[in-house]
Structure 1
């Protein structure tokens, strides 16, 4: 498992950070029904996260509460320098044709959009909605590999490389 986590991290590092736009996802977006891991990055500071107003929609992550309660914890990922993008969230996404609301691309969209559905960051509904300060990246996995190992990959990546401050579990 450790070797596979290192492979996933190397793939993440090899990928460029992708900008999300209000018009949607233009390029660099995962193909429909793909599955894998994704990371959300911001250049907002921890202080800005601690003072954020979260979306009022059901299922919104309470950005300020999580940030405030975790900011001093040793294994939480923190920004290396001011105004540099740093990982604040990671997750998994994948579903077949019968479950395209939860495929990799749909999960990324859900983190940014201010919808009523599943729990997510709902960035565009928060006070931290300047999309110039947000990026994402992802690694696509084979469906069988994903289905078998997704929770272990998500958790073990966090245990090895640090826990993103806005990842709840």
Structure 2
């Protein structure tokens, strides 16, 4: 009986955590473990007549915690986590943030969540080279046309002043160019 209830609980709660995006948040692992915690109480109650109730419940608790952590690992990072990674990237010291645009997509339909940060820089091409060297020093790996680490991917591009991007947004100040850093939840 405990096994049937546990399997159903894990399937339903796991689906809710994954589909709602909760499992992919910064503290998603904690929510996953807490969502499965009632199963530990259930095990304690069901195993009441067992001789080794404490040991069986402790073993079951370990399994439940591991399942909760596993569900959190399956989740795509939320836009919150992508933004956190994006904010901590080693952009050149002479770069000045112009704008931040977030595009959440926790279900990763037609691409995963990503954040675009636009910076004004003295030289776009030089800034891309400096930025990519800094990424490599920080442990990012070049994979095809992007830099990857864990679940995250980063692409840096120099944006010319005459780009269509500046039709709806102010261009960088005179004498400066633009650096676009796109951080995504998918490498």
TM over 0.5: no
Higher RCO structure, 1 or 2 (CA under 8 Å, sep 6+): 1
Normalising by structure 2, report the TM-score. Answer: 0.27
Larger of the two Rg values belongs to structure: 2
Question: TM-score when scaled to structure 1?
Answer: 0.29
Instruction: Pick the structure with more strand per residue.
Output: 2
